[in-house]
Amino acid sequence: MLNKTISFALVAMFMCTNLYSQYENSFFDNDKYEDTIDSSHILLHFDNLSYFRNCEYLSPVDKGSTYIGFNLLPYAQYSFNDKAQIYGGLLIRYDFGNPELKLLEPYFKFTYNDVLKHNIVFGNLNGTLQHRMIEPLYDYERAVTDRFEQGLQISKPGDVIEYDAWIDWHDMIYENDPKNERFVAGYNLYLNPVNTERNKLSLNAQGITVHSAGEIDLNSAPNSVEYNFAYGLEYTHFFNEETNLFLAGHAAFYEDRSNTLVNGLIDGVGQLGVIRLTHKEYQFVLNYWDSHQYQGPWGEQLYHSLGNKNWPSPQDYRKMIGARVGYEVTIGKNLVFLNRLGFNYNVHPNKLDVTMENYLRWHFTGNKKKVNLN
């Protein structure tokens, strides 16, 4: 398996195959419509993400899912100065066919930018797909089901070195709670030896840790810690402003260092290759996945060896070939529609998975107003 991993990385390197987190996903960026405003000013925002995502899976691991509904996020932004901004509001998620709200929780974020060339976020992070992780490490569906992480994030933008590191405190516990606490920590590092107007070559290292534990709870489940990490090479060629070709290849790994194994699998490995052509509003994506006993506790279940469909008997070896097409169109100012269709062919067994997605995102802002907090 090690020889296969090395061979795959070398082939990707010489072919300059562009591998990335499958689609280009800036449509979902949490701060997509946020800019620094003048000091002592307040600005009202209203963000909506509507979704219709249907996954019809015939493969032996994942049952698939259907989500139809919307997120509403009204919030206010206040500027302390050109570096420090604070955001506060309310996040609402409603799924059609359910008479109750699926989620109702406060939204809070403090950002402090350009601190020794780093950006800091405390509260609701600029996370999920904005971390730019590959799908075997980070579940693409979380953009709908778990939109905002909560914790601390430090990132560094740059032309040569850029990275993102965060901790997401996912499950809080108090004394005599019936569950374990759980937190997720991750990093994504890019080294760009070539970064020009026409070409970008990146060496990538990324990883994520999922830890479940507790000392004051009543849960008898053992503590657990699972790791995923990946190394890859990415290359982008820009033909012009409207067309680019993205090629990449990653080797992904799984390790379970719990006292009692979570899924009965101690480790695993996978190899992911992606080619993506972007032309104007369209994205065309081809990807290949080959793995042995791979698990990703925070990754997309479609890539797993053991999932909600075949538990507790793992599908040790997975080989999948995927093809996807996406279309994104701007309807009006800050009003964008995204349509995606994906096919995933499982070589063993001979099964086809289909994903159909429609998203509508609109974001409105009021007029900024100066306020006096003295």
Q: Is the pTM of this model over 0.85?
A: yes
Which residue bears the tokens 């960026």? 29
Please tell me the predicted confidence (pLDDT) of residue 372: 78
In a domain, 143, yes or no: yes
The answer to the question of residue 372 being in a domain is no
Query: Is 149 a residue whose pLDDT tops 90?
Result: yes
Alpha carbon distances (Å) from 209 to 134, 204, 298: 15, 17, 9
Query: pLDDT higher for 83 or 11?
Result: 83
Contacts of 193 (CB under 8 A, 6+ apart): 160, 201, 203
373 within a domain of the structure (yes/no): no
The share of the chain scoring above pLDDT 90, in percent, equals 87
The reply to whether 145 falls in a domain is: yes
| Number of domains into which the chain is organized | 1
Q: Is residue 370 part of a domain?
A: no
Cα(152)–Cα(251) distance, integer angstroms: 27
> How do residues 59-107 score in pLDDT, each as one tens digit?
999 999 999 999 999 999 999 999 999 999 999 999 999 999 999 999 9
> Using H for helix, E for strand and C for coil, what is the string for 141-187?
CHHHHCCCCEEEEEEECCCCEEEEEEEEEEECCCCCCCCCEEEEEEE
pLDDT at 14: 33
- State the pLDDT at residue 273: 97
Residue 276 has pLDDT above 60, yes or no: yes
Residue 221 is predicted with a pLDDT of: 79
Is residue 12 situated within a structural domain? yes
The CATH number assigned to the domain holding 150 equals 2.40.160.10
pLDDT at res. 15 = 34
The position carrying tokens 């932004």 is 77
Q: Which domain holds residue 244?
A: 2-364
227 has a pLDDT exceeding 70: yes
Beta strands in the chain (DSSP E): 41-57, 65-79, 84-95, 103-115, 118-124, 150-156, 161-171, 181-195, 199-213, 224-238, 243-256, 267-279, 282-292, 317-332, 335-346, 351-365, 369-370
